Amino acid sequence: MTDGATEPTVLAVDDEPDLAELYRVYLSSAYDVRIATGGEAAMEEMDESVDVVLLDRRMPDMSGHEVLTAMRAAGYDARVAMLTAVEPDVDIVDMPFDDYKTKPVTKEDLLTLVEVLLYRAEFDEHSQEFFALASKKAALEAADATGGDEYEELVERMETIRDRVDDTLDRLSARDAFVEVPGSVP
């Protein structure tokens, strides 16, 4: 992950080279952008400096799910958005990504998505998990795929995580109420 001294790095992965290049054009004014036109190429481009991955789900050499699994197995903790033409189904519930967007996306959509993912990277683990689950829930609801046990388990996991996040916020609020803020007026 970047240390704040350099531009954040985004890896855009899509098997359509023109689309991958378009993502680079959209994002290059604000971010260091790498592109890969397949799963194997994505793994070659991936390293610890990558902050955000925009990952197509359906590719010929490796699926987005396979790439995501390989990235997580290699220990990479970049924020990942599935950016795909595939309508979500309950199979996404256990996939370790942070957001899910269905193509096509506008330049503004893409810039906002990366900004949100970078912002979420600053959150604690429970908050990141909560937002990832909320994104999956929203994607499933938009695709009208809310039937079944997987969706219900997702909602239950969200509630459990929400309780943990609320507990953390309560503890921080109580502790921080007595912390002196540097530079504050006496």
Our measurement of the distance from residue 163's CA atom to the centroid of its chain's CA atoms, rounded to an integer in Å, reads: 22
**Average pLDDT across the chain, whole number:** 84
Residues with Cβ < 8 Å from 45, sequence gap 6 or more?
A: 11, 34, 35, 36
pLDDT band at 171; cut points 50, 70, 90 = low
pLDDT band at 38; cut points 50, 70, 90 = very high
pLDDT band at 172; cut points 50, 70, 90 = low
**Helices (runs of H) and strands (runs of E) counted in the chain:** 6, 5
Query: Is it the case that residue 167 has pLDDT exceeding 90?
Result: no
pLDDT band at 186; cut points 50, 70, 90 = very low
* The domain over range 9-176 is classified in CATH as 1.10.3720.10: no
Question: For the chain, what are the domain ranges?
Answer: 9-176
Phi-psi region of 85 (alpha: psi -120 to 50; beta: other; left: phi over 0): alpha
Give the tens place of pLDDT for each residue, 63-92: 899 999 999 999 998 999 999 887 777 777
Lowest mean pLDDT among 20-29, 73-82, 158-167: 158-167
pLDDT band at 181; cut points 50, 70, 90 = very low
Q: Report pTM.
A: 0.73
Query: Is it the case that residue 174 has pLDDT exceeding 60?
Result: no
Residue the block writes with tokens 């256990």: 94
